[in-house]
Amino acid sequence: MVRKHKNIILICIIIFCFFNIYSITFFVSKIEDAALVFSQQESSNTNMIFINRLVKDGKVVKLLREEEELGEIIIDDNLSSDRKEKISFFRTLGLYNIGADVKELNISLYYLGYGTNKNSRIFDKKTKEAVRAFQRDYKLKVDGFAGIHTIGALNQTLKSKKITIPNCEPNVQKVLSNNYWIVINKDANILKLYRGQKLVKKYPVATGKEKNYTPEGKFKIIRKNIDPYWGGGRDKDPIKGGVPQNPLGTRWLGLDFGGGTLYGIHGTNNPRSIGKHVSNGCIRMHNRDVEELFSIVKRNTMVYIGTDKKLNQYIY
């Protein structure tokens, strides 16, 4: 009888322990789940606030991956002045980028003793090493890219040393219109908006993944569409306008090459593609940029597209 009672007591103890262990495990798992949900919600909310701030500021040209304060980004209003106190920032510069902003970077680094080719408009390996050396000296992230923090540190250094740099924007020799008109540099992946001879603003863009994909020459904008419909392609179904999945983004400025529906300047659902040669021929912009451009230009606005070499021959 005593042995039977001992067995019953042992079974009860085992059952009791089992339920306690299960309860503790269940409780812990629920805490972990709650923490994960909270963490995801917190991360989501943080990103949403961060993105809203970027869009609201209106001066930032790309979304950054890091959760960090951007500080103030100043874009030159007077792009036609002969000399400047700072480099204009509108895109992150890296290896093989081309443009006036690259030349300004090379000149600034040269003046500060970093041995770049001050006459070059190309971000070559020498420029990259100079950028890395500057980043090391000024305790920045050493990655060889001239982003917002590196350009900001360069501008502060130029200011402290009272160094000014020449404005490297080429002067327009052939004005296509006294009103607004557009130049797109396929090599540099830059769109420039002019009004008469005055440069109004520059935007980073994406162009064709092959050299002949984006057409070259003089064109006109003949179509303007808000939330354009995408007709699909190959094995991809059409996508209606106004949805995040639409690769044309929020605006379409159709060129007369192809009847206004084949080639155009448009937004994107892939902002990380901007600045690269990745499209099937169209010119992609950040949605906020194409919306701004859309509000400025009208139908029949002239657009000239070409390589760096051809633009220097025809426009500059």
The 3-state DSSP class for residue 39 equals helix
Lowest mean pLDDT across 9-13, 51-55, 143-147, 153-157? 51-55
User: Rounded to 5 degrees, what angle do the CA atoms 286, 169, 314 make?
Assistant: 90
What is the pLDDT, as a whole number, of residue 304? Answer: 97
The answer to whether the beta carbons of residues 213 and 313 sit under 8 Å apart is no
> Which pairing describes strands 264-266 and 283-284: parallel, antiparallel, or unpaired?
parallel
What pLDDT digit, counting tens, does each position of 126-172 carry?
Answer: 999 999 999 999 999 999 999 999 999 999 999 999 999 998 988 89
Cα 43 to the center of its chain, rounded Å: 22
Phi, psi of 297, rounded to the nearest 5 degrees: -85, 155
Mean pLDDT of 110-121: 94
Alpha-carbon gap, residue 251 to 256, rounded angstroms: 16
Mean pLDDT of 251-280: 95
Single out the catalytic residue among 149, 168, 282, 286: 282
Per the annotation, the verdict on 149 as an active-site residue is no
Band of the pLDDT at 8, cuts 50, 70, 90?
Answer: low
Q: Which residues pair with 165 in a beta bridge?
A: 84
The answer to whether the beta carbons of residues 268 and 274 sit under 8 Å apart is yes
Q: Which residue has the higher pLDDT, 191 or 1?
A: 191
Instruction: Enter the DSSP assignment of 235.
Output: T
Mean pLDDT of 230-246: 87
| Percent of the residues in the chain that have a pLDDT greater than 90, as a whole number | 64
- Mean pLDDT, the chain, as a whole number? 80
Lowest mean pLDDT across 2-11, 220-229, 249-258? 2-11
Alpha-carbon gap, residue 46 to 202, rounded angstroms: 30
- Among 276, 207, 273, 284, residue whose Cα is nearest residue 250: 284
Per the annotation, the verdict on 282 as an active-site residue is yes
Angle separating helix axes 100-111 and 125-137, nearest 10 degrees:
50
Mean pLDDT of 227-238: 86
Mean pLDDT of 60-73: 30
| Amino acid residing at 85 | E
Mean pLDDT of 222-247: 90
Structure tokens at 168: 């490297």
Lowest mean pLDDT across 11-25, 200-214, 225-239, 280-294? 11-25
Sheet holding 302-306, edge to edge: 198-204, 190-195, 180-185, 302-306, 217-226, 251-255, 264-266, 283-284
Single out the catalytic residue among 149, 168, 266, 286: 266
Instruction: Walk me through the domains of the chain, giving residue ranges and CATH numbers.
Output: 83-166 (1.10.101.10), 180-314 (2.40.440.10)
Number of Cα atoms under 13 Å in the Cβ half of residue 4: 1
What is the pLDDT, as a whole number, of residue 85? Answer: 83
Alpha-carbon gap, residue 161 to 75, rounded angstroms: 21
